Amino acid sequence: MDAQGLEWLLVPVRRLASWGAAGAMVFGGVVPYVPQYRDIRRSQNAEGFSTYVCLVLLVANILRILFWFGRRFESPLLWQSIIMIITMLLMLKLCTEVRVSNELNIKRRSFADFDLNYFWHWSKFTDYVQCVLTFTGVTGYITYLWLDSSLFVETLGFLAVFTEAMLGVPQLYRNHRNRSTEGMSVKMVLMWTSGDTFKTVYFVLNQAPLQFSICGLLQVLVDMAILLQVYLYSSYPQKAAAHPAHPASAKAL
């Protein structure tokens, strides 16, 4: 086979590989939440999933979309944010319905109460939507005013990916406090590690903004630190510290 014939064969292969990588970027981030959603729906118990995961991911992806208006990046990354926002809203809707149906306390809390003690613990899904729309409106207006400032745009991009990169830190800290990883899904952490590694490589190869690559690497390091805790606490069990339990983080399902 001559060089021209080989090139003719490689072009569609490369195109398919590019489409596959883009599809993995768009939908790969939401895959771990599919079994979680089904488990909550089946058991009608949302205690094992922290809705603060949804809060962090909503904030991170809204900021990322706003960053796109100031500095255009790969379309798959934009669609990834849109899909993730929809997924987190669906998770919030289910968790809110399940939690309210199981609550004995008949007092309802709403976003309009502006009570910080019950922030993100409201009784209706519409309250979460109001909060998300308010945050989007305020940050969107600020972005519109400062869109010509390169410093603001770059800072916005950094905040977007840095917020998402910090998802594993609460779990890392919780494991350290408890001197144990009991109750944490190791398979879930492995899934996040492989996904974060793929995502970071994708950022580098596609020359995404530098903030994406740096924070992607940070996510991988946090994942590896959690896996190191799994090894250390299983190989060298320690007496658990007497601390109250905290809600599971993004990687403790």
Torsion of CA 121, 123, 36, 175, to 10 degrees: 20
Distance CA 59, CA 61 (A): 6
Distance CA 241, CA 238 (A): 9
Confidence (pTM): 0.76
Q: List, for residues 117-150, the tens digit of each pLDDT value.
A: 889 989 899 999 999 999 999 999 999 999 999 9
Question: What pLDDT score does 76 carry?
Answer: 85
Q: Looking at residues 218-227, what average pLDDT do you find?
A: 89
Distance CA 184, CA 128 (A): 27
Q: Looking at residues 47-53, what average pLDDT do you find?
A: 75
Q: Token pair of 136, please?
A: 């989007």
How big is the CA angle at 33 (ends 140 and 46), to the nearest 5 degrees?
95
Distance CA 196, CA 54 (A): 18
Q: Looking at residues 154-178, what average pLDDT do you find?
A: 82
Question: What pLDDT score does 244 carry?
Answer: 44
- Residue 250 in this model has a pLDDT that exceeds 50: no
Q: How confident is the model at residue 4 (pLDDT cuts 50, 70, 90)?
A: low
Q: List, for residues 93-118, the tens digit of each pLDDT value.
A: 999 999 888 877 667 888 988 888 88
- Residue 56 in this model has a pLDDT that exceeds 50: yes
Percent of the chain exceeding pLDDT 70 equals 85
Q: Looking at residues 170-177, what average pLDDT do you find?
A: 77
Distance CA 16, CA 235 (A): 44
Q: Looking at residues 222-247, what average pLDDT do you find?
A: 71
